[in-house]
Structure 1
């Protein structure tokens, strides 16, 4: 008989609906039940594309004896970390503190009031390699709770108090240029010059770091930054982590050479990498970057777009009960599909060997170089893709997450503009409309609120966190820049107003959860601020980016100051751990470059307006903001009082709080927006009376 997860929004939770475990969703009711029964809570955290989550479920949660013990001695709570990142953050912090490591599946035992006292990750059904079995863990925890409850509760209270004190203490001082320089030097020591990426295996796609490196090179001309970015971008695109048939990137490479991936494919990775490869193409016209951006965008639309026009969360790593079965090939399989000659040629080009690079004599397709006959390869790729479509497919987590869809909106909007693909811009707009129609509501105080996720067009109950507000706002601002529709700008402003009103922390930074939308348990022991980037930018860094862009479009000192405060925590990590602060460092490059603000004024149907707008969007200036509008437009405020020049469309450029004369020439605009070490923003003169420099307001 299904447990209560059958009606959950999350596909991951629904996967456990038929377990004999009496799972319940996270919420006050679960902890009230634990209090009434006098038993601890077992919180099991995972996500739909997690391979070892599936393994533990099959080994333990589907076992009747194990489930019976769990039901008798615990209240069992199942959590989708993608739906409740606030819950995941608290218990991951506890797991890392207690064990020195973390990951998923995550297994946490708490008191009936939610304080953790024993944490771990995967536990096998039988002892192996010194690891206790899950039944042993269950029995030990139950016995400790029964015989030493006072000791357990005291320990749990101490752990909860320590978690509540975690957070960042911002450093109010600091030279941004010096911070970027120290971070770049530290990053260089971790760079793998031969294979790309940073550090040793496993290697994750360093999306935020790559964006920072491209921006840093654009601002300074630093050749080392560009070399690290280009080498890594090419290595990832040519290795097995990139799907050489359909496009799109897997979660990470298990080896240092990007050969064999962990095969799950996530929306958040691909949305960010789409944007980075589009920016790499913008920087130097690379054919490889153009191809990868085009194919990745196509994969997102083909594989992740939902019936409502938004984007699903992920594709599973497993099919046919095996990880990677959908993606791997043997030489014999290539010959069966392509014939002997074409099959042998494709095997050589795509790195398929008799020994295999993966399992069972199969290989993950690679493209370490481009053959002379690329048209032949493209024809064969299409035939292989058609054959692969007949294989059993990996499962899809079709949950729509606000923040990850915000990343997709930004990536598709900018890629559409840079690749001359209006269909990608249309897809971004459709996803944005869905978010605003389905994920947004008005709170009792009139503020705009987001839910974290929906499924099949039905919003879930979990509140959005800071990264959701920031990424959706950033996506809306990108869409506004590309389309010139002021409605996207206005919606972004509403979300950022909520950030300023309800996410402000006492130390001047930003909390990861709203002050009035966090349940009592997380409110008591939550991690206030997570400054480090993970697979996505930290909430603080993401918010800094959106707030800075909005400030540049409006001249709002309030938003500018909030952006700089939000950066202080993440930037403390930058010099020692630059790979954990790439998103913040990318925002720093925007600040150091100006940011640059371009208002393009002209009729939409005038080719001269389009030419100016195209030049503006193709600038590599870090943190560039673009506003497009008809003569007399009032929104965004950057457009106000910007008339045509001699009756012709014009572009107005401001940088570092100083504005240039308008231009009607696309060539002159391109020159004005040129980047490099010799184009530092103009210095502002001190006030003649006080000697202080003027405040950060756009004239």
Structure 2
């Protein structure tokens, strides 16, 4: 018989609806029940594409014996971390404080008033190698709750006291070039200069850090930073991290050389990486980076886009109960499909009889086209065509396989990142359907994820719910500004201003000079946290600092600049000392210290000028492209656009920096001198 999760919309919660564990979703019913019965809470947090969440569910939560002990002694609550990042953030911090690391599944035992007293991640079901299994832990903690309540209370109080201390930020610093210098050198000290990326295995994409390295290389003129960024992006694109047949990136690499990925595909990785590849393309004009942008965005359009225009959250690592089964190959299978072209394909993609992953092969390229062409006595263009045709044939076979499961909830924060990705992709590729995808998603958020002037966090099957978090607002405002730069309608700028003001009113903490993760009208939890680190996702604080800086230049409202500076100053010391966790913030500091250059292109009729600006790496630029006369008329009240005239047959470019503007520029050579 299904448990209470059968009433939920989250794919992750529904995966557990038929467990023998009497699960509840987080809410009044479960929390009140714990207090009324004076029972501790077991809180399990995960997400639908999480491999080890599936393993623990199968081993422990499907066990009748373990479920019986859980049901008798605990109120058991399941949380989808993507729906409730506020809850996850609190207890993930507790886990990191206690064990030195975190992750999912997150397993937390709480008092009825939500204070943690025991925490961990994945637990095997049985005792092993001197470590207690989950079944033993459940019984031991149930006994401690009944027989040693003083010990439980002491542990809970200790956790809360430590947690409250972690929320304090008090290291103000002046914003100076030296912060960027120190950060860049510290970041380079953990760089893997052989394989690219940071540290050793496992390796995550860390998109914002790569963006900062590109910016610092431009600032300093030191080529090795740019070379490292290019190496990282190329190695990722050629490795198993990138789906060589279907496009899109897997979540991370389990090894140092980007060969064996953790096979789940998350929307946010496929949103955060295309803008970095676009920047690398702007600098290098390497067509491989353009291929990756196209491949990734077309994967999202084909597999992760809802009919209404929103984007789904994730695809599983597993299919048919095996991780990666959908993506890997046997050499014999490839030979049967490709025939005479198999030798070329197998050499290029390192396909061997023994394979490189549990007897199978993950497609992985570490040879260049010229070497393959020389080896087979063919031209590079011939080899390229053979590889393309081979990929298409294998892809056609692969789509007949049982696909991984898909988490089809649609979330404002990740969708906003995707809007930005499609806009950045459109800028360098000119692919109109990328721009249209961004348009459709903005319309979807406006129609389905807003209520009474507020954003909502998540949507599924026609139902939207949960008040939005800092990331939702910050990412959406940022995406609106990215969209505005290409299609500058006053409507979208007004919307960005409205939500930016909402952020200040409901999330801002003037005492600590930073933004809370939840609004002041959100459900009250044991603590109101701050999220300051840029890790797999950029922090809402870093993105909001960038948003406020951009809005100041567009509107000349000084309150936006003041808040941006306060956020940067409060985190500057930490960013210099630990740059790995502050890539997005460092990108904002770079723009502030360089003084953003304001570029207005009026009338996009001259495609040479338009393409020159769109395909040039100017990360400190606020570049607005006006193609319609009425758009400029509607924006005339803003100082950014005053004095700029639209002529039907002529393209003019205005370049302003530090309150000084150029005369109208009409040739690429004139523009080159100023940007």
Instruction: Measure, in 1, the Cα distance between the counterparts of 2:492 and 2:656.
Output: 22
Any gaps of 5 or more consecutive residues in structure 2? 370-379
Structure 1 residues 455-507: Cα deviation after superposition (integer angstroms, max 9, x where no partner): 134212x2221111111111111111112233222221111111111111143
Corresponding residue for residue 556 of structure 1? 557
| 2:412 alignment partner in structure 1 | 402
Deviation (angstroms), 1:414:
1.6
Residue 622 (structure 1) aligned with residue 623 (structure 2): no
Q: Distance in 1 between matches of 2:82 and 2:571?
A: 22
Instruction: Choose which of 646, 665, 668 in structure 1 pairs with 2:667.
Output: 665
* Secondary structure in structure 2 of the residue aligned to 1:575: helix
Contact 1:632–1:640 (Cα < 8 Å) also in 2: no
The aligned runs of 1:240-639 (5 Å cut-off) are: 240-339=240-339, 341-359=340-358, 361-371=359-369, 372=380, 373-442=383-452, 448-460=453-465, 462-520=466-524, 522=525, 524-527=526-529, 529-602=530-603, 607-608=605-606, 611-629=608-626, 630=629, 631-634=632-635, 637=638, 638-639=640-641
Alignment-derived partner of residue 167 in structure 1: 167
Kindly tell me: are residues 391 and 175 of structure 1, through their superposed partners in 2, closer, same or farther at Cα, counting changes over 3 Å? same
C-alpha separation in 2, matches of 1:240 and 1:515? 40
Superimposed CA distance per residue, residues 16-73 of structure 1 (whole angstroms, 9 cap, x where no aligned partner): 1111111111123321110001100111000011000000111111112211211111
Written as runs of structure 1 = structure 2, the 5 A alignment for 1:113-262 is 113-262=113-262
Query: Counterpart of 2:107 in 1: which secondary structure?
Result: strand
Number of aligned residues? 658
CA positional deviation for 1:347: 1.4
CA positional deviation for 1:538 = 1.2
Q: What do the CA deviations read for 1:523-562 (whole angstroms, capped 9, x no partner)?
A: x3243x2221121101111111111112221122111111
Deviations 1:374-418 (A, max 9, x none): 111000000001100011100111111111111100010121121
Moved more, 71-80 or 154-163: 154-163
**TM-fit CA distance, 1:641:** 3.5
Question: Which whole-Å CA distance do the structure 2 matches of 1:54 and 1:107 have between them?
Answer: 13
SS at match of 1:599: strand
Take 1:304 and 1:635, find their aligned partners in 2: how far apart are those partners? 39
Greater Cα offset, 580-589 or 448-457: 448-457
CA distance in 1, matches of 2:637, 2:293: 29
Change (3 A) 1:287 1:515: closer
Kindly provide the CA deviation profile for residues 216-258 of structure 1, in whole angstroms up to 9, marking residues without a partner as x.
2333433122011111011111111111111111111101011
Structure 2 counterpart of 1:104? 104
Structure 2 counterparts to residues 56-71 of structure 1, below 5 A: 56-71=56-71
Secondary structure of the structure 1 residue equivalent to 2:184: helix
Cα deviation, residue 613, structure 1: 4.1
TM-score, normalisation: structure 2: 0.94
State the secondary structure of the residue aligned to 1:632. Answer: helix
With over 3 angstroms needed to count, the CA separation of the structure-2 counterparts of 1:5 and 1:646, relative to structure 1, is: closer
Mean Cα deviation higher: 282-291 or 662-671: 662-671
Aligned CA RMSD, in angstroms, stands at: 1.8
The verdict on how the C-alpha distance between 1:451 and 1:335 changes in structure 2, with shifts beyond 3 A counting, is same
Q: 1:112 to 1:200 in 2, by over 3 A?
A: same
Q: State the secondary structure of the residue aligned to 1:671.
A: helix
> What is residue 655 of structure 1 aligned with on the other side?
657
Distance, in Å, in 2 between the alignment partners of 1:131 and 1:387 is 45
Greater CA drift, 377-386 or 577-586: 577-586
Aligned pairs (5 A) from 1:68-83: 68-83=68-83
The question of whether the paired residues in 1 share the 8 Å contact of 2:500 and 2:548 is answered with: yes
1:635-674 deviation digits (Å, cap 9, x = unpaired): 682223422479844222211333222223343223322x
Greater shift after overlay, 612-621 or 651-660? 612-621
Q: What CA distance in whole angstroms lies between the structure 2 residues aligned with 1:492 and 1:611?
A: 30
Alignment CA distance shift 1:325-1:569 (3 Å)? farther
Deviations 1:607-656 (A, max 9, x none): 13x55444433332223112334243326822234224798442222113
Please say if 1:20 is aligned against 2:20. yes
CA distance, structure 1, for counterparts of residue 231 and residue 221 of structure 2: 16
Superposed displacement of residue 138, structure 1: 0.2
The whole-number CA distance in structure 1 between the counterparts of 2:419 and 2:672 is 26
CA displacement at 1:265 relative to structure 2: 0.7
Deviation at 1:319, TM superposition (A): 0.4
Q: Distance in 1 between matches of 2:648 and 2:75?
A: 74
With normalisation by structure 1, the TM-score equals: 0.91
Partner of 2:376: none
Contact 2:173/2:572 (<8 A) preserved: no
Q: Are the counterparts in 2 of residues 244 and 367 from structure 1 also a CA contact under 8 Å?
A: no
Which string of whole-angstrom CA distances, capped at 9 and with x for unpartnered residues, describes residues 64-113 of structure 1?
Answer: 22112111111111001111111001001111112222111010001101
Q: Is the 1:238–1:369 contact (alpha carbons within 8 Å) kept by the matching residues of 2? A: no
CA distance in structure 1 between the partners assigned to 2:483 and 2:170 by the alignment:
32
- When residues 565 and 457 of structure 1 are mapped into structure 2, their CA distance, relative to the original with a 3 A threshold, is farther
Counterparts in 2 of 1:514 and 1:96: CA distance versus 1, 3 Å:
closer
How many angstroms does 1:10 deviate by?
Answer: 1.2
8 Å CA contact 1:89, 1:526 repeated in 2: no
Q: For the residues of structure 1 that align with 2:643 and 2:573, how far apart are their CA atoms?
A: 40
The 1:569–1:3 alpha-carbon spacing in structure 2 relative to 1, beyond 3 Å, is farther
How big is the shift at 1:14?
Answer: 1.0
SS of structure 2 residue aligned to 1:337: helix
CA distance in 2, matches of 1:175, 1:189: 22
Counterparts in 2 of 1:288 and 1:56: CA distance versus 1, 3 Å: same
Cα distance change, pair 635–242 in 1 and its aligned pair in 2 (3 A): farther
> Residue 284 and residue 486 in structure 1: after superposition, are their counterparts in 2 closer, same or farther (change >3 A)?
farther
Cα deviation digits, residues 282-315 of structure 1 (max 9, x gap): 1221111111111111111111111211111111
Report what 1:678 is aligned to.
none
For the residues of structure 1 that align with 2:107 and 2:170, how far apart are their CA atoms? 32
Q: What is the rounded CA distance, in whole Å, between the counterparts of 2:440 and 2:637 in structure 1?
A: 21
| Structure 1 spans left out of the alignment, 5+ residues | 443-447, 674-699
More moved, 114-123 vs 208-217: 208-217
- What is the distance in 1 between the residues matched to 2:611 and 2:658? 22
- Out of 618, 629, 643, which is 2:645 matched to? 643
